[in-house]
Structure 1
Amino acid sequence: MNPLALVALVALAAEPGAAPRKLTFQEVLTRTESQSLELQAARARLAQAQELSSKAWSGYLPQISAGASYTRNNVEATFALPTGYAIREVGGPTSDDPNLPGAPTNFALVPVGVQEVPIQKLNQLGAQVQLNQAIFAPALCMAIKSAGIAEDVATLNVEAARREILFGAAQLYFGAAGLLQAVTVQERLLVVYTAREKDAQVSFDVGAQPKVALLRAQIDRARAEQDLLRARNSYLSTIQALATLLNEPADFDVVVPEEPVLPEGIEQLEAAVQKRPDVVAAQRNIELAETGRSSVKWRYAPTLGLSAAYRWANAAGFTGQNTSWAITLGLQWVLWDGGLREAELRESSAKIAEAKANASAAENRARDEVRRGLLDLASARANRLKAEEQLRLARESQRLVDVSFKAGTATYLEVTDANTSLAAAETGFVGETLNASLAALRVLKAAGMFAPTPLAPQQGEQ
């Protein structure tokens, strides 16, 4: 097959139809923020965590319940309730001796009229409304405080996850941009090798070059076609991964972005570490553990609660009324619970020590990431300068060898070596440029300066 025809087929396979749309780096971050399914799941987890305070407050707010019942009894029972009373004589003289005075007459209240009051009906109905309210419950107050801190920690953890997702999108974007540059390099090299093959064919036809030179040119052109196809497939694969993260079709191209700009001075970067979501979350976990220990201590105190109930039944009972109400003020004090509170105090003290160690480790890890990231960035920038110098020298060498070859003073092997060196230099420069940009991104992420927009306001913020 004609080499130019093969190049055209490869280009058509890589770019079917109309030219794809271009997405800038900032557009990708914005789309990831709004369309990523992973971020949607993170926001859903945050919405769940933000209900912790409502759940904790539910234990301290009034609890109102209502109920009704129906009972089928085997027998019906009634109670005789007098409707009125009268004074009646119940005694008189009790002695038969006429010389003794008679006993006084006795009087008593005697019920007059009786009403049958049912105390158990055959079909018995009842209804009740009850109110329970905690008045003094210190442990519940500590639970409410802990819930608020737990919400903040959950918000910080989700924000850290958000930044990781956006950083993953940024890495994919810069990787795709580097591969796009590699495709451009391979396309240019393929044009060079194709032209070289054409020159070798002309030289062979006129007898100026041996056939081995033509075969070598054909081999170089075939290798360049394969390298171009491999580079394009790698680029399309990265675009597909980025499209999956964005939750949209892979019908776009990337634009080569500028290298991220870092603030001056490592002190500023290390100071920013204190605002990283994972570091702040580790610090808030100390407060959460301390609040948990306070909650255990307050369980030694008594609790006071109020309970009120209103009842109705179709059987009046002994009071003769179908409705009744009661208010109860109750005090409960657990004097000994088998040592549970003491064990939980020891456990909470260990949790505080763990939280403090984790917070210190998070700060040290963040500072270490910044320092190592700066070292990697310095190495990447130095490598990029060397790669740029090698590229300049390789281009000059290839130009000189090409002039010599056309003048008949250089062999095709020298031309091949010069082109191979140029290809390696261009590919190396693209790779080192990508490494420098990714190293700068990693430093920004380590310092907590990458995508710092909060996912949701923290407790107490507007």
Structure 2
Amino acid sequence: MTRLKLWAMAATGCVSLLAMGAAAQAQSLEESLALAYNSNPTLQAERARLRATDEGRIQARAGYLPQVSASASISAQQSESVSGAGSPLAGSSESDSTPKNYSLTASQSIYRGGYNGGAVDQATALIYAGRESLRSVEQTVLVDAITAFMDVRRDSEVVNIRRSNADVLAQHLQAARDRFEVGEITRTDVAQAEARLSGAQAQLSSAQSQLATSRAAYERMTGQPPATLQDPPALPELPDNLADAAETAYRFSPQLLAAQYGEQAASHSIRMARSSLRPQVTLSASASGSRDASYAGDERDSTSIVGQVSVPLFTGGLNRSRVRAAIAQEDQTRQQTLLARRQVTEGVTNTWNAYITSQAVIESSRQAVRANEIALDGVEQEAYVGLRTTLDVLDAEQELLASRLLLVTAERDSYVAGYRLLQAMGLLSADRMGLNVEIYDVAGEPEGSGFPNFDLTPWN
């Protein structure tokens, strides 16, 4: 066996191993989404932000509980005194002491004009708003991961189509040169084939660059570079009409629900501001003692219980100004809720129309591909018998290429548009998609919150 054959066999074995490795590493859409759900920094940061928001209710409830503090001190003192020679007590004296002091203080708010209740309710509303914001970020991360997945698949197909087109044009160029040599065509036909091949090679390079960009976006979303990507599963069930999609979005859109909870939080801030106009009642108790550890050994202890009522009489308009500011902020959040509803309507309408349009483009593109394949075959046969020119064949190739590229793009757009419609409706989540991940626990409903826990049963 020659050395050349050995090298050929080794090369063939390496290619087979690489192909087997690529097949073993093939990634499904579900696996890509699981990677994004578990590792995406944007989603992780939003979860941390929600945990910080959750602490706000504990901090607000602390206003109902007593505040207790204790302190103690010990010091060392040394003193020396000297009397003059003419004094009957002439001489010097020294004394050492280690005085000890302690105190214990407790205070309990009895009435704060409704501030504590408003603070707890506001913190609860902010928690629910934060949960909806987290749900919104989760949806965005998942749909971005789906988009990145489909972009890599689309651009891989585009590269394959353009590479195949370049190979076909190279064959046409060689055939044109052969026919030119025997005098069947002119130099112009050869130049046209050369120009088309050069353009196809440039477009192939551009497609390869776009594929590299899409692969980088995929890695940014999932934390891993893409391997061979499997065919995506079928889209989940979608509504039959725009009205149903909009109605579902009004119920489940996290953007709209977060705005509504924000409006509730703003209404509770008015209660908190108005509390400054009312009396404040506080009960406090304290105990303290000191020990003089000198020879004298003095001891002093004291205890006290104080009830205090404070009534604001004049603050220069500060308190009432804060109330007016809180009312204005509530009106602002009310308008933001209205804006959020309109944005939800716009988002559902746009994604619905994009999905319907992409479906129509897919159907027309498939028909165009079939028609252009038949047309190309006919043009090639006619060119073989001299009824068509080389330019006619090249034009037919270009039309078939354009229709194939349009079909690949339309299939990607349709799939992404379907999931963007689910996102606009508020129904895109790891739980609903059945991802093999541990669903992040938002800790349930705050105890005694009095706030509704919305039913997020998926639309059927």
Match of 1:277 in 2: 254
Match of 1:444 in 2: 422
* 1:12-23 equivalences in 2 (<5 Å): 19=22, 21-23=25-27
Rounded to whole Å, the distance in 1 between the matches of 2:34 and 2:142 is 9
Rounded to whole Å, the distance in 1 between the matches of 2:253 and 2:284 is 48
Match of 1:129 in 2: 104
Read off the aligned partner of 1:169 and give its amino acid letter: A
Match of 1:267 in 2: 243
TM-score, with normalisation over the residues of structure 1? 0.78
In the alignment, is the contact (CA less than 8 A) between 1:196 and 1:217 conserved in 2?
yes
Q: 1:129: how far off?
A: 2.3
Match of 2:40 in 1: 36
Q: Secondary structure at the match of 1:252?
A: coil
Q: 1:72: how far off?
A: 6.4
* 1:99-118 equivalences in 2 (<5 Å): none
Q: 1:425 aligns with which of 397, 403, 419?
A: 403
Deviations 1:207-226 (A, max 9, x none): 44444444443443343333
Match of 2:388 in 1: 410
Q: 1:309: how far off?
A: 2.3
Q: Secondary structure at the match of 1:327?
A: strand
Is 1:299 the counterpart of 2:302 in the alignment? no
Match of 1:244 in 2: 220
In the alignment, is the contact (CA less than 8 A) between 2:99 and 2:293 conserved in 1?
no
Bigger mean CA deviation after superposition, 53-62 or 256-265: 256-265
Q: Secondary structure at the match of 1:253?
A: coil
Q: 1:382: how far off?
A: 2.4
Rounded to whole Å, the distance in 1 between the matches of 2:329 and 2:374 is 66
Match of 2:285 in 1: 308
Rounded to whole Å, the distance in 2 between the matches of 1:41 and 1:431 is 33
Deviations 1:412-450 (A, max 9, x none): 111111111111121122222223333333322222222
Rounded to whole Å, the distance in 2 between the matches of 1:37 and 1:395 is 47
Match of 2:378 in 1: 400
Rounded to whole Å, the distance in 2 between the matches of 1:259 and 1:214 is 46
Q: 1:372: how far off?
A: 2.9
Rounded to whole Å, the distance in 2 between the matches of 1:36 and 1:373 is 25
Q: Secondary structure at the match of 2:228?
A: strand
In the alignment, is the contact (CA less than 8 A) between 2:291 and 2:299 conserved in 1?
no
Distance 1:312 1:66, change over 3 A: same
Q: Considering only aligned residues, what root-mean-square deviation do their CA atoms show, in Å? A: 3.2
Q: 1:347 aligns with which of 309, 325, 348?
A: 325
Q: Which is higher, the Rg of structure 1 or of structure 2?
A: 1
Rounded to whole Å, the distance in 2 between the matches of 1:375 and 1:253 is 31
Distance 1:158 1:121, change over 3 A: farther
Rounded to whole Å, the distance in 2 between the matches of 1:257 and 1:184 is 19
In the alignment, is the contact (CA less than 8 A) between 1:152 and 1:458 conserved in 2?
no
In the alignment, is the contact (CA less than 8 A) between 2:145 and 2:221 conserved in 1?
yes
Distance 1:415 1:145, change over 3 A: same
Rounded to whole Å, the distance in 2 between the matches of 1:152 and 1:184 is 48
Deviations 1:314-367 (A, max 9, x none): 139999644443333333333333322211221122122112111112112211
Rounded to whole Å, the distance in 1 between the matches of 2:413 and 2:226 is 26
Q: 1:53: how far off?
A: 0.9
Q: 1:49: how far off?
A: 1.0
Q: Percent identity?
A: 20
Q: Secondary structure at the match of 1:132?
A: strand
Q: 1:254: how far off?
A: 2.6
Q: Secondary structure at the match of 1:312?
A: strand
Is 1:24 the counterpart of 2:40 in the alignment? no
Match of 1:45 in 2: 49
Distance 1:336 1:73, change over 3 A: farther
* 1:214-229 equivalences in 2 (<5 Å): 214-229=190-205
In the alignment, is the contact (CA less than 8 A) between 1:239 and 1:253 conserved in 2?
no
Is 1:171 the counterpart of 2:157 in the alignment? no
The total of aligned residue pairs comes to 406
Q: Secondary structure at the match of 2:64?
A: coil
Distance 1:202 1:17, change over 3 A: farther
Distance 1:319 1:354, change over 3 A: farther
Match of 2:412 in 1: 434
Structure 1 residue ranges without an equivalent (≥5): 1-11, 77-119
Bigger mean CA deviation after superposition, 412-421 or 189-198: 189-198
Distance 1:417 1:256, change over 3 A: same
